[in-house]
Amino acid sequence: MIAFIKGTVQAVSLDHVVVDIGSVGLQATCTTPTALSLRVGDRVELLTSMVIREDGWTLYAFTDADERIIFEQVQTVSGIGPRIALAVLSTMNPNEVRNAIALEDLNALVKIPGIGRKGAQRLVLELKDKLGVVTGASQPRLNSAPVGWQASVVAGLMSLGWTQREAESAADAVAPMAIEFGTEPDIGALLKAALRSLDRA
């Protein structure tokens, strides 16, 4: 198994990064916030998790061990695969996941793309005693911070130089468009639309 990759960022998309490790360039799938935190030319060391299926091998990359732990634990829940596990981390940080499950906060969990009421109930039932306690200084902010596509759009706009207030306002402006996408919003399209709304302001 590949436990980590270290090298130079060769390319970045909204859902993956390509890292030049010397004679090979490895593509790793990641959350949008992780991708937006990277720049071409950066020297990085990313922790990884390999998912092997009949149709191929996929490498997933994370900025810290806690994210990888949550990613792998969430996949032990019946009916949940790597795509939804990654959506969990795109919506909440690891401590927020632990807090939501410990408090059986189904309203927070159903905000995750691909997770319905029954899926949220399975997460609570099967993970409640497996994720441990909330760690570190990060405090849960389930009801105050943007989640899902909103967090990704806000992070993308702020990385381009907009203030948090401007970014959140632009995210609010494209909310009707996000609703049209249903449970799997197109982050790239929403980000472009948010940028257009800021250009018109």
Give tens-digit pLDDT for 108-153.
Answer: 999 888 899 999 999 999 998 888 666 554 443 333 344 567 777 8
pLDDT tens digits along 42-65: 999 999 999 988 888 999 999 889
Rounded to the nearest angstrom, the gap between the alpha carbon of residue 170 and the centroid of all alpha carbons in its chain is 20
The pLDDT score that the predictor gives to residue 5 is 94
Asked whether the whole model's pTM tops 0.85, one would answer no
Judge whether 66 and 20 are in contact, CB under 8 Å.
no
The pLDDT score that the predictor gives to residue 28 is 95
Q: What is the arithmetic mean of pLDDT over 190-197? A: 86
CA dist 5 to 29, 86, 152, 187, Å? 12, 18, 24, 26
The pLDDT score that the predictor gives to residue 2 is 86
The pLDDT score that the predictor gives to residue 9 is 94
Question: CATH number for the 149-200 domain, one of 1.10.8, 1.10.10, 3.40.50, 2.60.40?
Answer: 1.10.8
CA dist 103 to 56, 91, 164, 199, Å? 37, 17, 29, 41
CA dist 82 to 34, 85, 89, 168, Å? 16, 5, 11, 28
184 pLDDT band (50/70/90 cuts)? Answer: low
Judge whether 18 and 9 are in contact, CB under 8 Å.
yes
Question: CATH number for the 66-127 domain, one of 3.90.1150.10, 3.30.1200.10, 1.10.150.20, 3.30.565.10?
Answer: 1.10.150.20
Give strand pairing partners of 12: 17
Pick from 19, 16, 23: which is nearest to 8 by CA?
Answer: 19
Q: What superfamily does domain 4-62 belong to in CATH?
A: Nucleic acid-binding proteins (2.40.50.140)
The pLDDT score that the predictor gives to residue 14 is 81
Between these two residues, 80 and 187, which has the higher pLDDT value?
80
Judge whether 76 and 124 are in contact, CB under 8 Å.
no
Judge whether 61 and 68 are in contact, CB under 8 Å.
no
Task: Determine how β-strand 43-53 pairs with β-strand 56-62.
Answer: antiparallel
- Residue 21 phi, psi dihedral angles, 5° rounding: -105, 15
Q: For the CA atoms of 122, 126, 132, 136, what is the dihedral angle to 10 degrees?
A: -20
Judge whether 46 and 63 are in contact, CB under 8 Å.
yes
